[in-house]
A and B are shown apart, each in its own frame.
Chain A
């Protein structure tokens, strides 16, 4: 479908997504500038995961995760790569398997428990599905453990408040951008504070995730 002229004065809010703290869902508004800034961080993650120009990253997520996902989508373009998308649901696991086969992505990010359940339904072994993929990144530690049990050494992607942290395959510590975010641990819980301007500020935002900070920029769970 063709593209129309953009509204000359789009709203400052890029969109209202959410951050998840345990069982609590907090609506979270971000600006276009927030997304652009986080895109630089996401590009760094994807480069380190091995994504190069003219390659493709498959991003497996939910639309409700848009404020965390959009920077990765844009980061693919910054690198000169393409991206494709599948839902992180049990039903849509067939799409992940199909797109991996058809599009041969270099990096797949966002495999969660539901997708692995879907693979089980389909009788698909994750090691076989991802055999051609250079780097697989799980969404959440439980999925990472299941992937490991299936023979896939995966990284992990965590959404801590409004920030994304990524551990690369084979690494135990997660990385985050310490120039933009401060992460502290208080009584074992990770707290997030933005160091650069954000539409929705985080000031010691309680993430509900247990961990510690061995050094700024690294998280140990």
Chain B
């Protein structure tokens, strides 16, 4: 789709539809706009939108929820008791809750989501089997999307206890697509295959593409999975208004700009940053009329580019760098989990399991808690020294490393990720 058409669609959906809809029905949007002295009549162009529309963020949603005893944080635009909504507003799902209370997410409708584009890009086709490896709290959307491309879901739990079935169903049903794989799952698959004597290249030979999601993947883990013959398509959240997924060029995750308007702004201010420059992702839905987010400051640090992709798509791409709230300043140097990820996982004994200790944004010492599977040849002291050397080489700061058995860290997260930053 030509850029001019993308922009025209955005203007029509946003200014002509979403803005007045959300202002009229969303308690949070109306309260925020009223405090800013803005009404939909004031927003007739994208310049107006950028200049006048106030931001919302997760704290604003939680505050509204607590002040109004509204589990939807003032975002719900539909009345569940409205008879015309029966069969449309059907369920309430929730965020992963990695960093706190899971946030309820109202869900409307049934049918395939825009992920049909991603599943097609993976190479899955009508008549194929497709491995659906996830959780229940995300709702039926993925299932409907798999059927939406004419494929058949094969259900597997994203849990350590179901790895043997994942391997078995992969061999028996020969799926072509897989949603999703995660860092902890990679570790568990590797161990199960070794224990059971399974050749993973053979077991996974039917897959044409696998979506990796939940948290970033380090270069070592990626190489290991590619050694199994799997092509990974990284997926990242798009500021809670959708997801962005890599294409076959693997040069950033495509954000579908007919579904969301994405801004990249100065993380400490409101000015837009240039194409490819680090900024904070600010998201606005173009399609969600159930619980629409408008100018939602996601806390995600990203690089956004709207340069055309080699794959031919004109929709922009996002490279996720980390979360603003995760940034640590040590000796004037910014450190994010992604900056030390490759260094930690380069030490075999760690499997890349680590946390940054962040009691405050600015600290005197970079502290890491690192999980280990084995002590390695020289014992724990030598292991700690190797990790500290690797991290120092990566970020220029010598860290203090606390070693813990890896299960200590794995227990802290859902099965697909662990909290990478912790206060203590």
Q: Which residues of B contact A3 (CB under 8 A)?
A: 109, 111-114
Known: A7-B147, A61-B136. A1 touches B71 (CB 8 A): no
Closest Cβ–Cβ distance, residue B79 to chain A (whole Å): 10
Interface residue from A69, A87, A102 paired with B137 (Cβ < 8 Å): A87
Closest Cβ–Cβ distance, residue B289 to chain A (whole Å): 10
Q: Does B216 contact A (CB under 8 A)?
A: no
Chain B residue at minimum C-beta to C-beta distance from A88: B136
Contact indicator A27/B157 (Cβ below 8 Å): no
Contact indicator A82/B173 (Cβ below 8 Å): no
Q: Does A84 contact B (CB under 8 A)?
A: yes
Count how many chain A residues have C-beta atoms less than 8 Å from C-beta atoms of the other chain.
Answer: 49
User: Of residues A5, A13, A16, which shows the largest number of chain B Cβ atoms within 10 Å of its Cβ?
Assistant: A16
Q: Which residues of A contact B155 (CB under 8 A)?
A: 15-18, 63-64, 66-67
Chain A residue at minimum C-beta to C-beta distance from B258: A2
Contact indicator B143/A15 (Cβ below 8 Å): yes
Q: Does B170 contact A (CB under 8 A)?
A: no
Known: A6-B148, A82-B80. A18 touches B165 (CB 8 A): yes
23 CB-based A-B contacts, threshold 8 Å: A1-B241, A4-B114, A4-B116, A4-B117, A4-B148, A5-B148, A6-B148, A7-B147, A9-B126, A15-B154, A16-B152, A16-B169, A64-B157, A77-B90, A82-B90, A85-B91, A85-B136, A92-B135, A92-B414, A95-B137, A98-B97, A98-B102, A99-B104
Contact indicator B150/A73 (Cβ below 8 Å): no
Report Cα–Cα, A141/B94, bound state, in Å. Answer: 28
Interface residue from A5, A11, A70, A89 paired with B151 (Cβ < 8 Å): A11
Closest Cβ–Cβ distance, residue A42 to chain B (whole Å): 14
Q: Does B342 contact A (CB under 8 A)?
A: no
Contact indicator B90/A98 (Cβ below 8 Å): no
* For the complex of A and B, 5 pairs with smallest distance between CB atoms: A2-B287, A7-B150, A85-B136, A3-B111, A15-B153
Interface bits A95-127 vs B (CB < 8 Å: 1, else 0): 100110011000000000000000000000000
Closest Cβ–Cβ distance, residue B410 to chain A (whole Å): 10
Count how many chain B residues have C-beta atoms less than 8 Å from C-beta atoms of the other chain.
Answer: 66
Q: Which residues of B contact A84 (CB under 8 A)?
A: 91-94, 104, 137
Known: A25-B165, A92-B137, A103-B71. A1 touches B414 (CB 8 A): no
Q: Which residues in chain A, 37-95, are within 8 Å of chain B measured between CB atoms? A: 54, 56, 59, 61-64, 66-67, 69-70, 73, 76-77, 80, 82-87, 89, 91-92, 94-95
Chain A residue at minimum C-beta to C-beta distance from B105: A84
Report Cα–Cα, A84/B134, bound state, in Å. Answer: 16
Q: Which residues in chain B, 155-204, are within 8 Å of chain A measured between CB atoms? A: 155-159, 162, 165, 169, 172-173
Q: Which residues of A contact B121 (CB under 8 A)?
A: none
Q: What is the interface of chain B, defined by CB distance below 8 A to chain A?
A: 71, 80-81, 86-87, 89-94, 97, 101-102, 104, 109, 111-117, 126-127, 129, 132-137, 139-141, 143-145, 147-159, 162, 165, 169, 172-173, 241-243, 259, 287-288, 411, 413-415
Report Cα–Cα, A65/B56, bound state, in Å. Answer: 38
Contact indicator B134/A6 (Cβ below 8 Å): no
**A1-B243, A25-B165 are known contacts; what are 13 more A-B pairs with Cβ within 8 Å?**
A1-B242, A4-B145, A10-B147, A16-B152, A16-B153, A27-B154, A54-B80, A56-B92, A63-B156, A82-B90, A82-B92, A84-B93, A85-B137
